[in-house]
Amino acid sequence: MKRRSVTSRLLLSATVLGAAASIAGLATYATFTSSTSASQSVASGTVTIGLGATGSSTNRLNVVANNIAAGDTVQRSVDLVNSGSINLASLSLTSNATTSSQLDTDTANGLQLVIDRCSAAWTESGTSPAYSYTCPGTTSTVLASRAVVGTNLTLSNLGSLTAGGTDHLRFTLTLPSSAPNTMQNQASVIQYTFTGTQRASTNQ
């Protein structure tokens, strides 16, 4: 019995030593390595639209018009500028009356709006507030005649869809000759908001 016990212990010791040697062998041969790296710069662009300088012929939208009569027109010039780095898919206009009257609520006989674009800066004549404008280049329609108040109106024939582009625009408000007597002594304040939407996503 004693001899068998000693033999068993010797075999167990030999097994433990063999396992340790195997582990040591694995550590010895697992030393090959390889690595590589690269860095990439990524920066987002900007969508930025703005208007020309207020108080000059590049932005007359804030010039008031008083004492208009049926059949009168009001012309104002403004530059629409894409100063961002991303091209646009579209530009739209929302015009709303922050102070409202029959001048803007009567869509048929109230104020009508037309927007035209000139390929060059408009030539301004007249004295404030009675400005008028002629185009020394080519004229195109940006917004056809419609009631002055509207939401998300699509603007056409624009060069400012391209980053860095500028559009020379002329806003013409007309009070139709059909305006009734009830439109006397009315006052509205029209706010114009331009919205640019980025171009479709693409691979870069």
Domains of the chain, by residue range, sit at: 1-31, 49-198
Decide: pTM greater than 0.95: no
Q: What Cα–Cα distance (Å) separates residue 100 from each residue in 60, 96, 104, 187?
A: 21, 9, 6, 7
Which residue, 79, 54, 84, is CA-closest to 199?
84
How confident is the prediction along the chain (204 residues), in pLDDT tens digits per residue?
444 554 445 444 444 444 444 454 545 557 899 999 999 999 999 999 999 999 999 999 999 999 999 999 999 999 999 999 999 999 999 999 999 999 999 999 999 999 999 999 999 999 999 999 999 999 999 999 999 999 999 999 999 999 999 999 999 999 999 999 999 999 999 999 999 999 999 998
Which class does domain 49-198 fall in?
A: mainly beta
CB contact at 8 A, 148 and 94: no
Q: How many CB atoms lie within 10 A of CB 136?
A: 10
CB contact at 8 A, 186 and 102: yes
